[in-house]
Protein backbone atom coordinates (compact mmCIF):
# COMPACT_ATOMS: atom_id res chain seq x y z
CA UNK A 1 0.00 0.00 0.00
CA UNK A 2 2.85 2.38 0.81
CA UNK A 3 4.36 1.88 -2.64
CA UNK A 4 0.97 2.37 -4.27
CA UNK A 5 0.57 5.83 -2.74
CA UNK A 6 4.14 6.81 -3.56
CA UNK A 7 3.67 5.59 -7.12
CA UNK A 8 0.47 7.56 -7.43
CA UNK A 9 2.16 10.70 -6.15
CA UNK A 10 5.08 10.41 -8.56
CA UNK A 11 2.75 9.56 -11.43
CA UNK A 12 0.75 12.70 -10.67
CA UNK A 13 3.90 14.82 -10.72
CA UNK A 14 4.97 13.29 -14.02
CA UNK A 15 1.52 13.89 -15.49
CA UNK A 16 1.50 17.52 -14.44
CA UNK A 17 4.94 18.15 -15.89
CA UNK A 18 4.44 16.15 -19.05
CA UNK A 19 1.07 17.76 -19.73
CA UNK A 20 2.86 21.06 -20.26
CA UNK A 21 6.06 19.76 -21.87
CA UNK A 22 4.82 17.07 -24.28
CA UNK A 23 2.19 18.03 -26.83
CA UNK A 24 2.02 14.52 -28.38
CA UNK A 25 -0.44 12.52 -26.26
CA UNK A 26 0.94 9.11 -27.29
CA UNK A 27 4.49 10.14 -26.44
CA UNK A 28 3.16 11.60 -23.24
CA UNK A 29 1.60 8.26 -22.20
CA UNK A 30 4.78 6.35 -23.07
CA UNK A 31 6.80 8.72 -20.86
CA UNK A 32 4.39 8.18 -18.00
CA UNK A 33 4.58 4.39 -18.37
CA UNK A 34 8.39 4.50 -18.56
CA UNK A 35 8.54 6.66 -15.45
CA UNK A 36 6.38 4.23 -13.49
CA UNK A 37 8.45 1.24 -14.64
CA UNK A 38 11.66 2.94 -13.60
CA UNK A 39 10.13 3.83 -10.24
CA UNK A 40 9.05 0.24 -9.55
CA UNK A 41 12.30 -1.41 -10.70
CA UNK A 42 14.94 1.04 -9.47
CA UNK A 43 14.84 0.13 -5.73
CA UNK A 44 15.17 -3.60 -6.47
CA UNK A 45 17.98 -3.08 -8.98
CA UNK A 46 19.88 -0.59 -6.83
CA UNK A 47 19.61 -2.68 -3.65
CA UNK A 48 20.87 -5.77 -5.46
CA UNK A 49 23.81 -3.84 -6.95
CA UNK A 50 24.72 -2.56 -3.47
CA UNK A 51 24.49 -6.01 -1.92
CA UNK A 52 26.45 -7.76 -4.65
CA UNK A 53 29.29 -5.30 -4.07
CA UNK A 54 29.36 -5.90 -0.30
CA UNK A 55 28.59 -9.55 0.45
CA UNK A 56 31.05 -11.53 -1.62
CA UNK A 57 32.36 -15.09 -1.57
CA UNK A 58 35.91 -15.75 -2.59
CA UNK A 59 35.59 -19.52 -3.07
CA UNK A 60 33.72 -21.12 -5.96
CA UNK A 61 31.09 -23.85 -5.70
CA UNK A 62 33.39 -26.54 -7.02
CA UNK A 63 35.80 -25.70 -4.20
CA UNK A 64 33.30 -27.03 -1.63
CA UNK A 65 34.36 -30.67 -2.12
CA UNK A 66 35.94 -32.29 0.95
CA UNK A 67 37.25 -35.64 2.14
CA UNK A 68 34.66 -38.37 2.49
CA UNK A 69 35.10 -38.72 6.24
CA UNK A 70 34.58 -34.98 6.70
CA UNK A 71 31.37 -35.05 4.65
CA UNK A 72 30.09 -38.03 6.64
CA UNK A 73 30.79 -36.31 9.97
CA UNK A 74 29.28 -33.05 8.74
CA UNK A 75 26.01 -34.78 7.89
CA UNK A 76 25.65 -35.93 11.51
CA UNK A 77 26.20 -32.53 13.13
CA UNK A 78 23.65 -30.13 14.60
CA UNK A 79 25.15 -26.95 13.16
CA UNK A 80 24.45 -23.49 14.56
CA UNK A 81 25.73 -20.25 13.07
CA UNK A 82 25.65 -17.56 15.75
CA UNK A 83 25.52 -14.55 13.43
CA UNK A 84 24.45 -13.59 9.90
CA UNK A 85 23.19 -10.13 8.87
CA UNK A 86 20.89 -11.47 6.16
CA UNK A 87 17.77 -9.60 7.29
CA UNK A 88 19.44 -6.29 6.46
CA UNK A 89 19.03 -7.04 2.76
CA UNK A 90 16.00 -7.33 0.49
CA UNK A 91 16.64 -10.98 -0.24
CA UNK A 92 13.84 -13.53 -0.01
CA UNK A 93 15.63 -16.26 1.95
CA UNK A 94 13.05 -18.85 0.92
CA UNK A 95 14.60 -18.81 -2.57
CA UNK A 96 18.11 -19.67 -3.73
CA UNK A 97 20.23 -16.73 -4.85
CA UNK A 98 23.49 -16.43 -6.74
CA UNK A 99 24.78 -13.65 -4.51
CA UNK A 100 25.11 -12.97 -0.80
CA UNK A 101 25.81 -15.75 1.68
CA UNK A 102 22.58 -17.05 3.22
CA UNK A 103 19.20 -18.28 2.09
CA UNK A 104 17.14 -21.29 3.15
CA UNK A 105 18.20 -23.60 0.29
CA UNK A 106 21.88 -22.90 1.03
CA UNK A 107 21.36 -23.37 4.78
CA UNK A 108 19.81 -26.77 4.05
CA UNK A 109 22.64 -27.67 1.69
CA UNK A 110 25.16 -26.69 4.37
CA UNK A 111 23.29 -28.81 6.96
CA UNK A 112 22.70 -25.77 9.18
CA UNK A 113 20.14 -26.61 11.86
CA UNK A 114 19.84 -23.16 13.45
CA UNK A 115 20.70 -19.71 12.16
CA UNK A 116 20.89 -16.68 14.45
CA UNK A 117 19.99 -13.60 12.41
CA UNK A 118 21.86 -10.50 13.54
CA UNK A 119 19.81 -7.31 13.27
CA UNK A 120 21.74 -4.17 12.34
CA UNK A 121 19.90 -0.91 13.03
CA UNK A 122 22.48 1.80 12.38
CA UNK A 123 25.75 2.06 10.45
CA UNK A 124 27.99 5.09 11.07
CA UNK A 125 29.30 7.02 8.09
CA UNK A 126 32.91 6.11 7.41
CA UNK A 127 32.59 2.90 9.44
CA UNK A 128 35.94 1.46 10.51
CA UNK A 129 37.34 -0.83 13.21
CA UNK A 130 39.32 1.87 15.10
CA UNK A 131 37.07 4.82 15.99
CA UNK A 132 33.55 5.86 15.02
CA UNK A 133 31.59 8.84 16.32
CA UNK A 134 28.09 8.20 17.60
CA UNK A 135 26.86 11.41 15.98
CA UNK A 136 28.20 10.65 12.50
CA UNK A 137 25.80 10.13 9.62
CA UNK A 138 23.69 6.99 9.38
CA UNK A 139 24.30 4.92 6.24
CA UNK A 140 21.14 2.91 6.81
CA UNK A 141 18.95 5.90 5.94
CA UNK A 142 19.68 5.69 2.18
CA UNK A 143 19.79 1.88 2.29
CA UNK A 144 16.34 1.57 3.86
CA UNK A 145 14.92 4.07 1.36
CA UNK A 146 16.51 2.37 -1.65
CA UNK A 147 15.27 -1.03 -0.49
CA UNK A 148 11.72 0.25 -0.08
CA UNK A 149 11.46 -0.31 3.67
CA UNK A 150 8.43 1.25 5.43
CA UNK A 151 8.74 4.98 6.07
CA UNK A 152 8.60 4.37 9.82
CA UNK A 153 12.02 2.64 9.59
CA UNK A 154 13.85 5.42 7.78
CA UNK A 155 14.96 7.26 10.93
CA UNK A 156 14.16 4.87 13.81
CA UNK A 157 16.62 2.12 14.87
CA UNK A 158 13.87 0.51 16.97
CA UNK A 159 11.47 0.36 14.01
CA UNK A 160 14.22 -1.06 11.82
CA UNK A 161 14.76 -3.83 14.35
CA UNK A 162 11.07 -4.63 14.56
CA UNK A 163 10.72 -4.60 10.78
CA UNK A 164 13.54 -7.13 10.35
CA UNK A 165 11.87 -9.38 12.92
CA UNK A 166 8.64 -9.06 10.94
CA UNK A 167 10.46 -10.21 7.81
CA UNK A 168 11.78 -13.29 9.60
CA UNK A 169 8.30 -14.10 10.89
CA UNK A 170 6.96 -13.79 7.33
CA UNK A 171 9.62 -16.22 6.09
CA UNK A 172 8.63 -18.74 8.76
CA UNK A 173 4.94 -18.40 7.87
CA UNK A 174 5.55 -18.81 4.13
CA UNK A 175 8.23 -21.52 4.07
CA UNK A 176 7.09 -24.48 2.02
CA UNK A 177 6.49 -27.55 4.13
CA UNK A 178 7.40 -25.43 7.18
CA UNK A 179 11.09 -25.75 6.34
CA UNK A 180 11.88 -22.79 8.58
CA UNK A 181 10.64 -22.35 12.15
CA UNK A 182 11.13 -19.60 14.69
CA UNK A 183 12.85 -20.48 17.95
CA UNK A 184 11.37 -18.75 20.97
CA UNK A 185 12.05 -21.16 23.85
CA UNK A 186 13.43 -24.55 24.85
CA UNK A 187 10.29 -26.35 23.70
CA UNK A 188 10.89 -25.00 20.21
CA UNK A 189 14.43 -26.38 20.29
CA UNK A 190 13.08 -29.79 21.31
CA UNK A 191 10.60 -29.62 18.44
CA UNK A 192 13.37 -28.67 16.02
CA UNK A 193 15.48 -31.63 17.13
CA UNK A 194 12.53 -34.00 16.76
CA UNK A 195 11.57 -32.67 13.34
CA UNK A 196 15.15 -32.83 12.06
CA UNK A 197 15.33 -36.46 13.13
CA UNK A 198 12.45 -37.05 10.70
CA UNK A 199 13.41 -34.50 8.07
CA UNK A 200 16.86 -32.83 8.16
CA UNK A 201 15.81 -29.95 5.86
CA UNK A 202 14.12 -28.11 8.74
CA UNK A 203 16.01 -25.00 9.89
CA UNK A 204 15.31 -22.98 13.05
CA UNK A 205 16.29 -19.44 13.87
CA UNK A 206 15.63 -16.21 15.75
CA UNK A 207 16.62 -12.54 15.51
CA UNK A 208 19.44 -11.09 17.64
CA UNK A 209 19.87 -7.38 18.23
CA UNK A 210 23.20 -5.74 17.41
CA UNK A 211 23.48 -2.62 19.56
CA UNK A 212 21.51 -1.17 22.50
CA UNK A 213 21.07 2.11 20.61
CA UNK A 214 17.99 0.43 19.10
CA UNK A 215 16.29 0.85 22.47
CA UNK A 216 16.30 4.59 21.75
CA UNK A 217 17.06 5.34 25.39
CA UNK A 218 14.12 3.39 26.88
CA UNK A 219 14.60 0.08 28.69
CA UNK A 220 10.88 -0.61 28.21
CA UNK A 221 11.50 -0.99 24.47
CA UNK A 222 13.29 -4.24 25.29
CA UNK A 223 9.85 -5.74 25.92
CA UNK A 224 8.82 -4.83 22.36
CA UNK A 225 11.89 -6.58 20.98
CA UNK A 226 11.30 -9.66 23.11
CA UNK A 227 7.68 -9.88 21.99
CA UNK A 228 8.90 -9.59 18.38
CA UNK A 229 11.04 -12.70 18.84
CA UNK A 230 14.46 -11.39 19.80
CA UNK A 231 16.24 -13.91 22.01
CA UNK A 232 19.80 -12.54 21.91
CA UNK A 233 20.82 -8.99 22.78
CA UNK A 234 24.08 -7.40 21.66
CA UNK A 235 24.95 -4.34 23.73
CA UNK A 236 27.15 -2.60 21.18
CA UNK A 237 27.98 -2.29 17.53
CA UNK A 238 30.38 0.15 15.83
CA UNK A 239 30.00 3.18 18.10
CA UNK A 240 29.54 4.04 21.77
CA UNK A 241 25.88 4.22 22.77
CA UNK A 242 23.80 5.15 25.81
CA UNK A 243 24.38 1.73 27.38
CA UNK A 244 28.09 1.05 26.90
CA UNK A 245 31.31 1.61 25.04
CA UNK A 246 32.20 -0.09 21.78
CA UNK A 247 35.55 -1.55 20.75
CA UNK A 248 35.20 0.74 17.72
CA UNK A 249 33.90 3.82 19.52
CA UNK A 250 35.64 7.04 20.52
CA UNK A 251 35.64 6.74 24.32
CA UNK A 252 35.55 2.92 24.49
CA UNK A 253 34.20 3.15 28.04
CA UNK A 254 32.27 0.59 30.07
CA UNK A 255 28.65 0.13 31.10
CA UNK A 256 26.66 3.23 31.99
CA UNK A 257 23.94 3.15 34.67
CA UNK A 258 21.45 2.78 31.82
CA UNK A 259 23.54 -0.10 30.48
CA UNK A 260 23.50 -1.85 33.85
CA UNK A 261 19.72 -1.57 33.87
CA UNK A 262 19.60 -3.03 30.36
CA UNK A 263 21.82 -5.99 31.33
CA UNK A 264 19.60 -6.83 34.32
CA UNK A 265 16.47 -6.54 32.16
CA UNK A 266 17.97 -8.80 29.46
CA UNK A 267 18.76 -11.49 32.04
CA UNK A 268 15.31 -11.18 33.62
CA UNK A 269 13.75 -11.73 30.17
CA UNK A 270 15.77 -14.95 29.66
CA UNK A 271 17.60 -13.46 26.69
CA UNK A 272 21.20 -14.29 25.79
CA UNK A 273 23.72 -11.48 26.24
CA UNK A 274 26.08 -10.93 23.31
CA UNK A 275 29.40 -9.09 23.82
CA UNK A 276 30.42 -8.88 20.16
CA UNK A 277 31.89 -5.43 19.37
CA UNK A 278 31.99 -4.52 23.09
CA UNK A 279 34.88 -2.50 24.49
CA UNK A 280 37.29 -4.18 26.90
CA UNK A 281 35.81 -2.27 29.84
CA UNK A 282 32.27 -3.20 28.80
CA UNK A 283 33.21 -6.88 28.74
CA UNK A 284 34.66 -6.64 32.25
CA UNK A 285 31.67 -4.72 33.57
CA UNK A 286 29.15 -7.16 32.11
CA UNK A 287 30.99 -10.21 33.45
CA UNK A 288 31.04 -8.60 36.90
CA UNK A 289 27.24 -8.34 36.77
CA UNK A 290 26.35 -11.65 35.14
CA UNK A 291 28.62 -13.62 37.48
CA UNK A 292 27.89 -17.28 36.61
CA UNK A 293 25.36 -16.61 33.84
CA UNK A 294 27.01 -17.55 30.51
CA UNK A 295 27.34 -14.95 27.77
CA UNK A 296 28.29 -15.22 24.12
CA UNK A 297 30.49 -13.31 21.71
CA UNK A 298 28.58 -14.14 18.58
CA UNK A 299 31.10 -13.25 15.85
CA UNK A 300 34.71 -12.37 16.54
CA UNK A 301 38.33 -13.39 16.24
CA UNK A 302 41.04 -13.80 18.86
CA UNK A 303 44.18 -11.72 19.22
CA UNK A 304 46.29 -14.84 19.60
CA UNK A 305 45.95 -15.48 15.86
CA UNK A 306 44.91 -12.02 14.57
CA UNK A 307 45.96 -9.12 16.76
CA UNK A 308 43.62 -6.12 16.44
CA UNK A 309 41.09 -4.38 18.66
CA UNK A 310 38.22 -6.13 16.87
CA UNK A 311 39.26 -9.38 18.53
CA UNK A 312 39.30 -10.85 22.04
CA UNK A 313 42.24 -10.79 24.42
CA UNK A 314 43.33 -13.99 26.14
CA UNK A 315 42.14 -12.92 29.59
CA UNK A 316 38.65 -12.19 28.28
CA UNK A 317 38.53 -15.54 26.49
CA UNK A 318 39.44 -17.31 29.73
CA UNK A 319 36.95 -15.35 31.80
CA UNK A 320 34.06 -15.88 29.36
CA UNK A 321 34.89 -19.60 29.27
CA UNK A 322 35.09 -19.82 33.08
CA UNK A 323 31.45 -18.69 33.28
CA UNK A 324 30.33 -21.24 30.69
CA UNK A 325 30.11 -18.76 27.80
CA UNK A 326 30.88 -19.37 24.15
CA UNK A 327 32.87 -17.48 21.53
CA UNK A 328 31.74 -17.59 17.91
CA UNK A 329 34.68 -17.43 15.51
CA UNK A 330 33.91 -15.52 12.31
CA UNK A 331 35.30 -16.24 8.83
CA UNK A 332 36.42 -12.92 7.38
CA UNK A 333 39.92 -11.47 7.22
CA UNK A 334 39.79 -8.84 10.00
CA UNK A 335 38.62 -11.50 12.45
CA UNK A 336 40.95 -14.34 11.50
CA UNK A 337 43.79 -12.75 9.52
CA UNK A 338 42.91 -14.07 6.09
CA UNK A 339 39.89 -15.18 4.11
CA UNK A 340 40.04 -18.95 4.56
CA UNK A 341 38.35 -21.69 6.56
CA UNK A 342 41.81 -22.87 7.60
CA UNK A 343 42.41 -19.55 9.39
CA UNK A 344 39.06 -19.90 11.18
CA UNK A 345 39.95 -23.44 12.26
CA UNK A 346 43.32 -22.20 13.58
CA UNK A 347 41.56 -19.51 15.64
CA UNK A 348 39.24 -22.17 17.03
CA UNK A 349 42.22 -24.39 17.88
CA UNK A 350 43.95 -21.50 19.65
CA UNK A 351 40.80 -20.72 21.66
CA UNK A 352 40.24 -24.36 22.60
CA UNK A 353 43.86 -24.83 23.68
CA UNK A 354 43.68 -21.66 25.77
CA UNK A 355 40.31 -22.08 27.48
CA UNK A 356 38.83 -25.45 26.53
CA UNK A 357 36.75 -26.64 23.60
CA UNK A 358 33.48 -26.01 25.48
CA UNK A 359 33.79 -22.25 24.81
CA UNK A 360 34.33 -22.47 21.04
CA UNK A 361 31.54 -21.86 18.52
CA UNK A 362 30.92 -20.71 14.95
CA UNK A 363 29.63 -17.22 14.13
CA UNK A 364 30.20 -16.58 10.44
CA UNK A 365 29.18 -12.92 10.06
CA UNK A 366 27.69 -13.91 6.70
CA UNK A 367 26.02 -11.03 4.81
CA UNK A 368 27.79 -8.54 7.10
CA UNK A 369 29.40 -6.59 4.23
CA UNK A 370 32.39 -8.94 4.35
CA UNK A 371 34.19 -11.26 1.94
CA UNK A 372 34.08 -14.87 3.11
CA UNK A 373 35.73 -18.03 1.74
CA UNK A 374 32.38 -19.88 1.55
CA UNK A 375 28.67 -19.21 1.70
CA UNK A 376 26.24 -21.14 3.91
CA UNK A 377 26.22 -24.11 1.54
CA UNK A 378 29.96 -24.66 1.99
CA UNK A 379 30.24 -24.97 5.78
CA UNK A 380 31.38 -28.57 5.29
CA UNK A 381 34.71 -26.98 4.38
CA UNK A 382 35.06 -25.77 7.96
CA UNK A 383 34.28 -29.22 9.34
CA UNK A 384 37.08 -30.59 7.16
CA UNK A 385 39.47 -27.88 8.39
CA UNK A 386 38.61 -28.67 12.03
CA UNK A 387 39.44 -32.32 11.43
CA UNK A 388 42.79 -31.23 9.99
CA UNK A 389 43.40 -29.29 13.22
CA UNK A 390 43.11 -32.53 15.18
CA UNK A 391 39.72 -31.94 16.77
CA UNK A 392 37.82 -35.11 17.68
CA UNK A 393 34.30 -35.85 16.48
CA UNK A 394 32.95 -34.91 19.92
CA UNK A 395 34.91 -31.64 19.84
CA UNK A 396 33.56 -30.75 16.41
CA UNK A 397 30.01 -31.52 17.53
CA UNK A 398 30.46 -29.02 20.37
CA UNK A 399 32.09 -26.33 18.23
CA UNK A 400 29.63 -26.51 15.36
CA UNK A 401 26.51 -26.22 17.49
CA UNK A 402 26.53 -28.22 20.70
CA UNK A 403 28.08 -25.51 22.83
CA UNK A 404 25.55 -22.89 21.77
CA UNK A 405 22.73 -25.39 22.20
CA UNK A 406 23.85 -25.71 25.82
CA UNK A 407 23.62 -21.90 26.21
CA UNK A 408 20.09 -21.90 24.81
CA UNK A 409 19.01 -24.60 27.24
CA UNK A 410 20.56 -22.72 30.13
CA UNK A 411 19.01 -19.32 29.37
CA UNK A 412 16.01 -19.34 27.05
CA UNK A 413 12.55 -19.66 28.64
CA UNK A 414 11.32 -23.21 28.95
CA UNK A 415 8.03 -22.51 27.19
Count of domains in the chain? 2
Contact between 234 and 276 (Cβ < 8 Å): yes
Domain with 395, as residue range(s), is: 58-411
Contact between 101 and 372 (Cβ < 8 Å): yes
Does residue 201 or residue 50 have the better pLDDT? 201
> Domain for residue 53, yes or no?
no
What b-and-e string marks burial along 277-300, b requiring 16 or more CB atoms within 10 Å of the CB?
bbbbbbbebbbeebeebbbbbbbb
Does residue 30 or residue 324 have the better pLDDT? 324
Contact between 224 and 247 (Cβ < 8 Å): no
C-alpha span between 203 and 208 (Å, rounded): 16
Question: For the residues of 329-377, what is the DSSP string, one character each?
Answer: E--SHHHHSSSSHHHHHHHHHHHHHHH-GGGEEE---BTSS-EES--GG
Q: Are 19 and 77 members of one domain?
A: no
> Domain for residue 335, yes or no?
yes
Q: Are 249 and 379 members of one domain?
A: yes
Q: Are 128 and 161 members of one domain?
A: yes
Question: What pLDDT sits at residue 200?
Answer: 87
Question: What pLDDT sits at residue 346?
Answer: 98
Question: What pLDDT sits at residue 101?
Answer: 96
Q: Which residues pair with 370 in a beta bridge?
A: none
Mean pLDDT on 387-405: 98
C-alpha span between 207 and 231 (Å, rounded): 7
Other beta carbons within 10 Å of 17: 12
> Domain for residue 83, yes or no?
yes
Q: Are 334 and 402 members of one domain?
A: yes
> Domain for residue 224, yes or no?
yes
> Domain for residue 50, yes or no?
no
Q: Which residues contact 267 (CB under 8 A, 6 or more apart)?
A: 273, 290, 293
The gap from C-alpha 315 to its chain's centroid, in whole angstroms, comes to 26
Q: Are 390 and 251 members of one domain?
A: yes
Model confidence band, residue 260 (pLDDT cutoffs 50, 70, 90): very high
> Domain for residue 96, yes or no?
yes
CATH number for the domain spanning 103: value is 3.20.20.140
Q: Are 27 and 156 members of one domain?
A: no
Does residue 301 or residue 29 have the better pLDDT? 301
> Does pLDDT of 285 surpass 70?
yes
Model confidence band, residue 27 (pLDDT cutoffs 50, 70, 90): low
> Domain for residue 82, yes or no?
yes
Model confidence band, residue 5 (pLDDT cutoffs 50, 70, 90): very low
**For 304-336, how does the pLDDT look when each residue is reduced to its tens digit (9 = 90+)?**
999 999 999 999 999 999 999 999 999 999 999
Q: Are 168 and 288 members of one domain?
A: yes
* 3-state DSSP assignment of residue 115: strand
Closest by Cα among 71, 73, 70 to 394: 73
Q: Are 188 and 91 members of one domain?
A: yes
> Domain for residue 17, yes or no?
yes
Q: Are 22 and 132 members of one domain?
A: no
Q: Are 112 and 12 members of one domain?
A: no
Do strands 371-372 and 360-362 pair parallel, antiparallel, or not at all (unpaired)?
unpaired
Q: Are 271 and 165 members of one domain?
A: yes
Model confidence band, residue 1 (pLDDT cutoffs 50, 70, 90): very low
Q: Are 25 and 170 members of one domain?
A: no
Amino acid sequence: MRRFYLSALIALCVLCFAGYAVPDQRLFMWLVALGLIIFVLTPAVLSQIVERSMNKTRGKKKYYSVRGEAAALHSRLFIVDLHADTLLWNRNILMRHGYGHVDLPRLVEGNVAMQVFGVVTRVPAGQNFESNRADSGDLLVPLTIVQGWPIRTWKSPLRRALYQAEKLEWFAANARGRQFMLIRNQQDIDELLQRRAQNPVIVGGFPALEGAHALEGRVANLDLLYDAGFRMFGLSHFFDNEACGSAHGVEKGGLTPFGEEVVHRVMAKNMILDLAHASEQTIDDVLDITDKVPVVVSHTGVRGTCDNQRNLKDDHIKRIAAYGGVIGIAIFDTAIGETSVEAAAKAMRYTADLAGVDCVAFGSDFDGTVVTPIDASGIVQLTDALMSQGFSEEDIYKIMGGNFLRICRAILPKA
